[in-house]
Amino acid sequence: MDHALVQDPHAEIRQEVAKLCAHFPGEYWRKLDQVRGYPTEFVHALTEAGYLAALIPEEYGGAGLPLSAAAAILETVHSEGCNGAACHAQMYIMGTILRHGSPAQKTTYLPKIATGELRLQAFGVTEPTSGTDTTSLRTFARKEGDKYIVNGQKVWTSRAEHSDLMLLLARTKSREEAKSRTDGLSTFIVDMRTVLGKGLTIRPIRTMMNHNSCELFFDNMEVPAENLVGEEGRGFRYILDGMNAERLLIAAESIGDAKWFIRKATDYAKERKVFGRPIGQNQGIAFPIARAYAQMRAAELMVREGCHKFEAGLTPGEEANTAKLLAADASWAAAEACIQTHGGFGFAEEYDVERKFRETRLYQVAPISTNLILSYLAEHVLGLPRSY
């Protein structure tokens, strides 16, 4: 199976990332899964190789690569059986800071993020009461002199325990005072090292996959006013840049998962013999794998389209959402086909299928559910009446 582009500009990156991933086989991830551990060695290796600084401009010590290169990196990580969830936020959060951060913020943080001295892995947006209804969040940041006092709560903030910095979205104006649904929300860079235990409490959430998800509580947490990103009240617009990048990169990860499942299922279907013939000879096995492959290829094209638009400085809302929807569906279809092909062995830890099965299931729900994507496309692309 060879579906590489004739002229893939990131072919060399893919090859080098694959070599790095070879040092972190399934056994490495299975051991972490058993103890709910963080893949520190893997993240360190990606940092040392410069991959987590892919989107940071060269003037700040990064590689200065486009979003499509970051997509190639994360896709390869997943297609090689690894998992980028422990560090992918550092890439997509860059969209907000690079486009809207002040020169001082970029100079202060980006060089240290590029070297790995600082980790920017936490994205504080979702709340227990609002979920994906971001404009209804309640966490409030009240300005007092040269600082903001933050009170509220966040949930599903992954990697908070393993991050130094967090990009936080909070209300700076009440909904009653806001001119629109998106007005009055502001974005902040929070140095969690200075506020942990001093206004910030982190509680891990145990989930079906080892994703290091957490619940955060803010109790009069102080954030310097200089850590406000851009203008006060325009934070929702700023994080959209991060969200579009996030959806494209998560889509790339899902495509990587799909490729892993398809390769795993195809290899097993060729080797496994029942009733004197390879099970891949049976259409009941072959067709689901083939259909998942077709779905993956379609999603792959949409990710490429979305990255091109993002790199042109445009807002790829339609493309990013569509790519996320198609890629999540493709990876889930491939996962279903893979576990069905393996039969009972698909549930055995040593095959890694069940681990990847759990991991890829997440993307039907996060970072945005497929139903919300369909609502977005219906309203903003097709012009249908708003459903919520």
| 131-187 pLDDT tens trace | 778 888 999 999 999 999 999 999 999 999 999 999 999 999 998 888 888 899 999
pLDDT tens per residue, range 301-329: 999 999 999 999 898 999 999 999 999 99
β-pair partners for 273? 278
Task: Identify the H or E element spanning 200.
Answer: strand 200-204
Return d(Cα 64, Cα 331) in angstroms, integer: 29
pLDDT score recorded for residue 267: 98
Q: Of 370, 367, 328, 372, give the one whose Cα is nearest residue 156.
A: 367
pLDDT tens per residue, range 252-297: 999 999 999 999 999 999 999 999 999 999 999 999 999 999 999 9
DSSP-derived secondary structure letter, 196 = B
DSSP-derived secondary structure letter, 60 = G
At residue 128, φ and ψ (nearest 5 deg) are: -60, -35
pLDDT score recorded for residue 6: 60
Beta-strand ranges (E) seen in 205-272 are 214-224, 228-229
Return d(Cα 381, Cα 11) in angstroms, integer: 33
pLDDT score recorded for residue 133: 81
How far CA 26 is from CA of 21, 81, 268, 358, in Å, comes to 10, 7, 16, 14
Token reading at 328: 């999540």
Whole-number average pLDDT of the chain: 94
Residues 333-370: b if buried by 16+ CB within 10 A, e if exposed: bbbbbbbebbeeebeeeebbbbbbbbbbbbbeebbbbb
Burial (CB < 10 A; 0-12, 13-18, 19+), residue 243, is buried
